[in-house]
Amino acid sequence: MNSVRARLLSTLAGQLGNPHGVLGKGVAFLLNRGNKVAIAGAVSATGVAPGATAADIGFGGGAGLSLLLDRVGADGVVHGVEISADMLARARSGRASDLGAGRLRLAEGSLTALPLADDSLDAAITVNTVYFVPDLTAACAELARVVRPGGRVVVGIGDPDAMAKLPFTSYGFTLRPVPEVIAALEQAGCDVEHRPLANRPIPHHLLVATPR
């Protein structure tokens, strides 16, 4: 029984890091629902205005793409970068008009290898993704690289103490203390503001980083 439970939890953890297949469709719905408050908070924290260029890195179910598209308006551009081929296909099939208009641009990539040019964004968000990145320093350096000086990088993470109580986070998650993530962003050349975010059942932290 314990081995069955372990396999189930390991499968769930793997799907959260890289949604795919039949299970991935359900995970996409759960990601949008469970991360709704954190994603909305991250988008708001970017402060992007109409006409801006923004990105959601590791967009999962795509809720952040919709919110960013609303903020940047008809003259803005939103980039979506995702490691999951299935989530990319899902976004492409559901957002054909935005893609055709050039308002939305989707690409495969990871936090440590972003397919974006230096200083090409006004803002970027990434929510509940850094648990799956072995090299946090490289990820923060990439985020700082693609966002222009004075822009904003918003990293959203669940409270690590609360996350540690979930049964699946011992399978493939790296739950780093908030100060460690802040330090990595500062090392990448950013000034960082820490904004705690009330959220049920997992409180979140928004780390609003401004590249210098």
**pLDDT digit string (tens) for 133-163?**
999 999 999 999 999 999 999 999 999 999 9
Residue 54 confidence (pLDDT):
98
Residue 155 confidence (pLDDT):
98
Counting beta carbons within 10 angstroms of the beta carbon of residue 181, is it exposed (0 to 12), middle (13 to 18) or buried (19 or more)? Answer: buried
**What is the bridge-based pairing of β-strands 121-127 and 190-197?**
unpaired
Residue 102 confidence (pLDDT):
96
Structure tokens at 6: 């372990």
Residue 58 confidence (pLDDT):
95
Position 166 confidence tier, pLDDT thresholds 50, 70, 90:
confident
Residue 170 confidence (pLDDT):
83
Structure tokens at 134: 């072995």
Position 199 confidence tier, pLDDT thresholds 50, 70, 90:
confident
Residue 23 confidence (pLDDT):
60
Residue 28 has pLDDT above 70, yes or no: no
CA angle 12, 166, 39 (to 5 degrees): 75
Residue 103 has pLDDT above 80, yes or no: yes
Q: What is the mean pLDDT of residues 89-113?
A: 95
Phi/psi of residue 177, nearest 5 degrees:
-60, 145
How many angstroms from the chain centroid is the CA of residue 57? 5
Cα distances (angstroms) measured from residue 169 to each of 59, 131, 162, 178: 20, 9, 10, 16
pLDDT in tens, 54-91: 999 999 889 999 999 999 999 999 999 999 998 899 89
Residue 185 has pLDDT above 90, yes or no: yes
DSSP of 126-193: EES-GGG-S-HHHHHHHHHHHEEEEEEEEEEEE-HHHHTTSTTTTTT-----HHHHHHHHHHTTEEEE
Position 21 confidence tier, pLDDT thresholds 50, 70, 90:
low
Residue 25 confidence (pLDDT):
55
